[in-house]
Amino acid sequence: MSAPTTHDTAHTGPVPTTPAPAHPDPFAEQHPARGIRFLYALNPLAKLAAPLPFMVALVFTRGFAVPIAFIVLAMALLLVGARLTPKGVLALVLGTPAAVLALGVTFGVWVDPSRIDATSAAASVVLVHVGEWQFTLAAYLVGLATSLRLAALLMLSLVAGLTSTGPEFVRAMVQNLRVPYRVGYTALAALRFVPRFGHELEVIRAAHRVRGTDTRRGPVAAVRRGLGYSIPLLASAIRHAERVALAMDARAFGAHDTRTERTLSRWRSRDTVFVVMFWAVGAAVYLVALQVGVASSPVE
């Protein structure tokens, strides 16, 4: 009898199994440890609470120095604490100043001449003269102050917006601010609806193209096609809402006052340190601006 080949033999020992990688925290899946930056490790509410008082104060600030200081501060935080692509870095470093200068012209064109101090030196410098209309340096400076405030508000909001997602904010509000989970997760479901509607719209558009439905061009045809998309989108929304409602009812959602959380959002000491340090730097900016006397616009 011939010796058994390797195909005839059977492995009688235990079959080795490779344990599946455990990911107890979906946040860790989204932001790998090797590429993590410190802003991603902070609580979303900390990144919102830190700049919020100064975003309100910027609305009433008329100078140049304070908005510029907060733009630089927010830009430094994003460059150091957020993972930006090379295009994102260029848009942040070069696109922001270009947008501020361009918006300054746009806002300056609509400046009321009565808001400008006629005795200032900038009021006598004419940049553009068309007929009886003059665009002076003073008007541009007023528009530039407005564009700087808007840019500062946008940059401060990006600190939280670029490093946190909507679901993370909802979980933080439910767990840290004690927002009723029925309200929080209703908002979370609404956030989930938005990308789904985009996908459904692309499917409907593709179906219309395949069927050759209403291929005419022009603004009237575009409006007609949009109205034609509304009925299928509405039907899809109703079906999806019904499935979500049935799934939530099957899981007894809302039957209890509290619920357990799969992903925890804790407020740690580093969150407190970040908020206190940000407030300290922001307060120092305002104190220095007030002492130097640059908190108000020199042309108003």
In whole angstroms, give the CA distance from residue 251 to residue 232.
29
Determine the pLDDT at residue 20: 44
Determine the pLDDT at residue 195: 80
Determine the pLDDT at residue 214: 61
Helix 52-59 vs helix 269-292: crossing angle, to nearest 10: 20
pLDDT in tens, the chain (300 residues): 444 444 444 444 444 444 444 434 333 334 444 445 789 999 999 999 999 999 999 998 888 889 999 999 999 999 998 888 899 899 999 999 999 999 988 888 887 766 666 556 666 677 777 777 777 788 888 889 899 999 999 999 999 999 988 888 888 888 888 888 778 777 777 777 778 878 888 888 888 777 776 666 767 777 777 777 788 888 888 888 788 778 877 777 766 677 777 777 889 999 999 999 999 999 999 988 887 765 555 555
Give bridge partners of residue 130 from the DSSP assignment. 133
In angstroms, the Cα distances linking 53 to 60, 278, 286, 292 are 12, 10, 12, 22
Q: Is 240 strand, coil or helix?
A: helix
Residue labelled with tokens 């804790």: 266
Residue labelled with tokens 């470093």: 93
In whole angstroms, give the CA distance from residue 182 to residue 54.
31
Determine the pLDDT at residue 297: 53
Radius of gyration over every alpha carbon of the chain, rounded to an integer in angstroms: 28
In whole angstroms, give the CA distance from residue 275 to residue 55.
14
Determine the pLDDT at residue 299: 53
**Residues recorded for the chain:** 300
Q: Are 29 and 77 in contact (CB under 8 A)?
A: no
Q: Which of 62, 65, 50, 79 is nearest to 282 (CA)?
A: 50
- Answer positive or negative: Cα dihedral of 109, 115, 120, 124: positive
212: which 2 tokens?
Answer: 């050759």
